[in-house]
Chains A and B, each alone.
Chain A
Amino acid sequence: MTIEEVQNEIIDEFSMFEDWEERYQYMIDLGKTLPLIDEKYKTEDNIIKGCQSKVWVHADMQEDKVNFTADSDAIITKGIIAILIRAFSNQHPKDIIEANTDFIDKIGLKEHLSPTRANGLVSMIKQIKMYAIAYQTQLN
């Protein structure tokens, strides 16, 4: 599936929820399914700055596709990362670099996109794209 297709699938899933409670419950559940980062990558250096909760993201590339793993000490943050990783994992770095992130808005999580928001969603997206740029450079 392309990034856009995955994003549309996520939008469809979230459209079934009637209120914030169902939406957040789903996010919390998603947080529990997050592909966890290997403990050895959970270093101080790998912590994403700008987060009230701690967030670690790691990437590796296999057969020209980038895979992400992550962790956070806050479960809602984990849910948000899980959504992001689902959209961007197992994709070609070029597609990750070019992908837009409007779907966050469409699933009712726009509030988390504010640059002042303490969860650092913006920093997470930036970090994901930075990894993609790094791997793209390797491919070139």
Chain B
Amino acid sequence: MLNVSEIRKDFPILNRKVNGKPLIYFDNAATSQTPQQVIDVIVDYYSNYNANIHRGVHSLSQEATDAYEQARLKIQKHFNAKHPYEVIFTSGTTHGINLVANGFSSLLKKGDEIIVSALEHHSNIVPWQMLCERTGASLKVIPMNESGELILSKYDTLLNENTKLVFVNHISNALGTINPIETIIEKAHKVGAAILVDGAQSCPHIKPDVQKLDVDFYVCSAHKLCGPTGVGMLYGKEDWLKKLPPYQGGGEMIAEVTFEKTTYADLPHKFEAGTPNISGGIAFGAAIDYMNSIGFDNIAAYEHELLDYATQQLQQIEGLKIYGTAKEKTSVISFNVGTIHPYDVGTILDKMGIAVRTGHHCAQPIMDFYKIPGTIRASFMFYNTKEEIDTFVAALKKAIMMLS
């Protein structure tokens, strides 16, 4: 059981007012809020041991390096990677995806096939389109059904010996659908394809075990799980990471440099060119500690309760339609009310201090599927409450009244 009123004290931002009303933050799928424990780590870094890492002999550099590498170990342990060097610090999910896509450009040839799902975020479509343009490979899409679930029988028909890569998000950002990645991974491996799972939406709700999943690559962003923006991680199986060429050139990623030839550093440094987001990496570790101190099982159970409650409340509103009704879904509700434009609803809700996301959620293909311009999306985290949902529903009713 969660003590939500105690947890809320950890988040200073939850005390602020927006447009004169107490903030109700339901845009967690875009970014989560940051607890004091994580903020303190960032302040401590800049107050006490800010230094460049991996290269100084002085004490500050050593302390910073230790803290940064400790964070890597925390991430390794959390996701259960076999080795710490299988964890690559990135600037976020998009960076991780691009790193893999870029690496595969030297491994793919004309006739090869890449499969993505219909539920993807733009960041998971565009890099593959670019990769296909560069290599002559072609892009196939696993379609979805009306509930927002992937049609796995169609996935079976797309897989063949030409399939080299499969990319799928663990959870859809627009609809909240939890994809059956275990099955998707297993089937990809049966035809010898590699698989990358985008964990941006799942990392705050589910604790994945990358070894048990047998996933080849897994990416996520710290800011989705109470960490800072601008930092994330790419997990890759050692063999795969060795196969991929470096993504960016720069300091730290080299072993030896002459004008004739450069040899690259070992993992993970091969993929970590330049000075990284040091405080961000350390705070990422702190965020994982924080999330684990609450417990992912507790988080999942409580968020499910919020999802059920909000769904029930919203369904009572006349003309309201929820998009994404998968059996397995996380605490995200995408909806519209009659023909009212989501932008109008979002604007009025903001006036009442309520933050929701409106628009296409960087997932235009999903909006095209439902033939709508966008949705209103409310997404909940463990620090939200049923009282907030009540206020939100009342505010929504008021917005509908004003806009009808």
Tell whether B211 is near chain A: CB-to-CB under 8 Å: no
Partner of A74, one of B19, B343, B351, B402: B343
B344 partner residues in chain A, CB cutoff 8 A: 53, 74-77
Partner of A54, one of B19, B373, B403: B373
B343 partner residues in chain A, CB cutoff 8 A: 52-53, 74, 76-77, 118-119
Question: How many chain B residues touch A (Cβ–Cβ < 8 Å)?
Answer: 14
The answer to whether B341 and A24 have CB atoms under 8 Å apart is: no
Q: Which of A43-65 contact B (CB under 8 A)?
A: 52-54
The answer to whether B351 and A28 have CB atoms under 8 Å apart is: no
- Taking A75-B341, A75-B403 as contacts, is the C-beta distance between A24 and B351 under 8 angstroms? yes
Chain B 324-365 near chain A by CB (<8 Å), digits 1 or 0: 000000000000000011011001100100000011000000
Q: Which of A15-51 contact B (CB under 8 A)?
A: 20-21, 24-25, 28
B351 partner residues in chain A, CB cutoff 8 A: 20-21, 24
The answer to whether B359 and A118 have CB atoms under 8 Å apart is: yes
The answer to whether B19 and A24 have CB atoms under 8 Å apart is: no
A24 partner residues in chain B, CB cutoff 8 A: 347-348, 351, 402
B402 partner residues in chain A, CB cutoff 8 A: 21, 24-25, 28
The answer to whether A52 and B403 have CB atoms under 8 Å apart is: no
Tell whether B176 is near chain A: CB-to-CB under 8 Å: no
Q: What is the bound-complex CA distance between A54 and B341, given in angstroms?
A: 10
The answer to whether B403 and A28 have CB atoms under 8 Å apart is: yes
- Minimum CB–CB distance for B133 against chain A, Å: 24
B341 partner residues in chain A, CB cutoff 8 A: 53, 73-75, 77
Tell whether B374 is near chain A: CB-to-CB under 8 Å: yes
For A20, give the chain B residue with the smallest CB separation.
Answer: B351
Chain B 14-36 near chain A by CB (<8 Å), digits 1 or 0: 00000100000000000000000
The answer to whether A52 and B359 have CB atoms under 8 Å apart is: yes
For the complex of A and B, 9 pairs with smallest distance between CB atoms: A74-B341, A74-B343, A53-B343, A76-B344, A20-B351, A52-B343, A74-B344, A52-B359, A76-B347
